[in-house]
């Protein structure tokens, strides 16, 4: 004669399965890093930006003596998930915004581009006639230099 399972045992099993499912969903996903390939003065650097919860904590990075570069990768909350790139010029009166790019996260897949989801961007320096070029991509792991 087959053994019957009690309703209490079924509820316990269902609760355990539900708890296991919730814990699996709560595990962090595969982390992505924003990488920007920045070329200035004949030198190319790969800058990385990990995900942040607040855009106000992200510092700028000096590129040469004139440009300041800021990368904000905010994947959460989903309603405000964006990737923003800022280029400032260092002026006597303080930094001046030259260029700002805003991309949704996740960005649309580029159509056969060798310049990531941003495409190749060029910003010109009026004082010394220099040029900063950059393009950005998302990578599954940190592979650049800070």
Taking only the tens place, the pLDDT of each residue in 96-130 is 999 999 999 999 887 777 899 999 999 998 877 88
Q: Lowest-pLDDT range, 40-44, 46-50, 107-111, 112-116?
A: 107-111
What are the tens digits of pLDDT across the range 54-93? 999 999 999 999 999 999 999 999 988 999 999 999 988 9
Structure confidence at residue 113 (pLDDT): 79
Cα–Cα distances in angstroms (integers) from residue 115 to residues 78, 84, 107, in the given order: 25, 16, 13
Cα–Cα distance between 98 and 36 in angstroms, integer?
Answer: 17
Structure confidence at residue 19 (pLDDT): 37
Where do the structural domains in the chain lie, given as residue ranges? 33-139
HSE value, Cβ hemisphere, 13 Å, CA-based, for 119: 7
The model's pTM is: 0.74
> CA Rg, the chain, in Å?
23
Q: Of 29-38, 48-57, 105-114, which one has max mean pLDDT?
A: 48-57
């Amino acid at each position: 004669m087959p053994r019957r399972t009690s309703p209490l045992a079924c509820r316990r099993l269902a609760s355990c399965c539900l708890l296991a499912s919730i814990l699996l969903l709560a595990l962090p996903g595969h982390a992505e890093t924003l990488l920007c390939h920045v070329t200035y003065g004949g030198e190319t650097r790969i800058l990385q930006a990990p995900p942040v919860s607040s855009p106000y904590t992200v510092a700028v990075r000096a590129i040469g003596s004139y440009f300041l570069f800021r990368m904000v990768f905010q994947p959460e909350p989903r309603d405000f998930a964006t990737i923003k790139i800022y280029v400032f010029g260092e002026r006597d009166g303080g930094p001046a915004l030259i260029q700002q790019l805003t991309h949704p996260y996740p960005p649309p897949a580029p159509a056969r581009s060798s310049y990531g989801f941003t495409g190749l961007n060029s910003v010109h320096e009026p004082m010394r006639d220099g040029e900063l070029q950059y393009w950005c991509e998302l990578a599954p792991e940190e592979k650049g230099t800070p």
